[in-house]
Structure 1
Amino acid sequence: MKDMAAEARSLGNIFRHLWLLRAVARAAGVDLDQAVKAGQLSGLDYARMVTSCRGAGCSKSCALWISSRRDDDTPAVPEFCPTAAVFQRLMP
Structure 2
Amino acid sequence: MKDLATEPAPAGDIYRHMWLLKTMLASVGVDLGQALADGSLNVAAYSQMLTKCRFAGCDNACVLWQEKNQTGAPPEFCVNKEMLARLSNPKAHSSA
Q: Same fold (TM over 0.5)?
A: yes
TM-superposed deviation, 1:76: 2.5
Distance in structure 1 (CA, Å) of the matches to 2:82 and 2:9? 26
Q: Which structure carries more relative contact order (alpha carbon 8 Å, separation 6+)? A: 1
Please identify the structure whose Cα radius of gyration is greater.
Answer: 2
% same residue: 42
Gaps of 5+ in 1: 1-6
TM-superposed deviation, 1:33: 1.5
Residues 3-60 of structure 1, C-alpha deviation per residue, up to 9 Å, x if partnerless? xxxx999201000001111111111001122111111111010011110000000000
- Decide which of 60, 77, 84 is 2:74's aligned counterpart: 77
Give the alignment's TM-score, normalised by structure 1.
Answer: 0.81
Answer yes or no: is the 8 Å Cα contact 2:9–2:55 preserved in 1. Answer: no
Specify the SS of the correspondent of 2:84. Answer: helix
Distance in structure 1 (CA, Å) of the matches to 2:8 and 2:35? 26
Name the Cα RMSD after superposition.
2.0
Gaps of 5+ in 2: 1-6, 90-96
Distance in structure 2 (CA, Å) of the matches to 1:8 and 1:34? 34
Matched, 1:27 2:23: no
How many pairs were matched up?
Answer: 83
